[in-house]
Amino acid sequence: MYNQYQRGSRMSEPPEIITNKDLLYLQDALSWELLASKKAHHFASESQDPQIKQQLEHLAEVHQRHYQMLLRHLQPQTQQQNINQYNQYSQYRN
Amino acid sequence: MFNQNQRGYGNQNYQSGYQQSNFQQQSYQSQNLQQQANPMKIKNPQTNQLPTVKGPEMNDRDRLNDMLATEKYLTDNYNVFAREASYNDLHKDVCQILNQTHQEARGLFNFMFNKGWYSLQAESTQQVAQVQQQFTNYQTQFAQNQQVTNSQSGNQNYHNQMY
């Protein structure tokens, strides 16, 4: 992913650094997924129909999976490493 | 290919209408009136799972509807998130979630349609023909005019058969 940091060259795409906006959206999306998963699970427990129960439990799982996909982006150490690398690159460039 | 299939389907409808009457225009009008009086519903019979007298408590249909509304809300918002994400890996993951959420919304809709909780209404053949004609004619406005005249003449042949 650090191909974009080539000596004397411009970045071809934004570095893998979470921006303030990214973090706000990730926070939002994580809470949507958590709520959706909990709600689906709750509804599943309320229904008597096995087919509907199954459909709702499936949704609870899908939203939990999405939650985990998003959570993987929040790695403080990776964030720090990528910031350091970017700083080195930008000093070198100037 | 998709268009051709659609055309083939339309053609059959037209021809059956054509054969029913010597006065084609009149036949279309009467057909249309019939459809307006009794619009064609597309739906499954309802399974008798819901309480006949509905109280304030949530039933299965309410629960599925609520989840469908949730999926719809998520697709709207993930679309914005996907557009605004900064680095590529984040954009890709959000796109994947967006796509999967669409599939879940679709799955729920099909599930509810299967239960008979959704009814659709077919548009009349005449209305479809009118809009098709209108936007076929608009094709002259494209810069690539050579292709347009080709496909247009094809469509005109098709219409000559019908009217």
**Grouped pLDDT means (10 residues each) for chain A, 94 residues:** 64 95 98 98 96 97 98 97 93 77
* Residue-averaged pLDDT of chain B: 77
Chain A contacts of B113, Cβ < 8 Å? none
Calculate what percentage of chain B has a pLDDT beyond 90. 53
Q: Mark whether B115 and B134 lie in a shared domain.
A: no
pLDDT score of B124: 95
Chain A contacts of B85, Cβ < 8 Å? 22, 25
Is residue B134 one of the residues assigned to a domain?
yes
Quickly tell me which residue has 């919304």 as its tokens. Answer: B105
- Could you tell me the CA-to-CA distances from A24 to A18, A79, A80, B89, B157 in Å, in that order? 10, 15, 18, 17, 57
Q: Does A18 touch chain B (CB under 8 A)?
A: yes
Which of A46, A58, A66 to mutate: most B Cβ within 10 Å?
Answer: A66
Q: Mark whether B109 and B137 lie in a shared domain.
A: no
Is residue B8 one of the residues assigned to a domain?
no
Q: C-alpha angle B44/B64/A54, rounded to 5°?
A: 95
> What is the residue range of B145's domain?
123-163
Q: Does B90 touch chain A (CB under 8 A)?
A: yes
Comparing B155 with A72, which gets the higher pLDDT? A72
Is residue B5 one of the residues assigned to a domain?
no
| DSSP letter, residue A12 | S
Q: C-alpha angle A32/B103/B51, rounded to 5°?
A: 80
Q: C-alpha angle B124/B128/B132, rounded to 5°?
A: 170
- Could you tell me the CA-to-CA distances from B105 to B69, B99, B101, B102, B146 in Å, in that order? 8, 10, 6, 5, 41
Is residue B110 one of the residues assigned to a domain?
yes
Q: Mark whether B114 and B129 lie in a shared domain.
A: no
Is residue B66 one of the residues assigned to a domain?
yes
pLDDT score of B46: 84
pTM (global) more than 0.90:
no
Chains A, B: CB contacts within 8 A come to 80
Is residue B48 one of the residues assigned to a domain?
no
Does the structure's ipTM exceed the value 0.85?
yes
Is residue B70 one of the residues assigned to a domain?
yes
Quickly tell me which residue has 């998003």 as its tokens. Answer: A70
Is residue B154 one of the residues assigned to a domain?
yes
Chain B contacts of A1, Cβ < 8 Å? 89
- In chain B, the number of structural domains is 2
The model's pLDDT over B69-124, given as tens digits with 9 standing for 90+, comes to 999 999 999 999 999 999 999 999 999 999 999 999 999 999 999 999 988 999 99
Is B100–A32 a contact, with Cβ atoms under 8 angstroms apart?
A: no
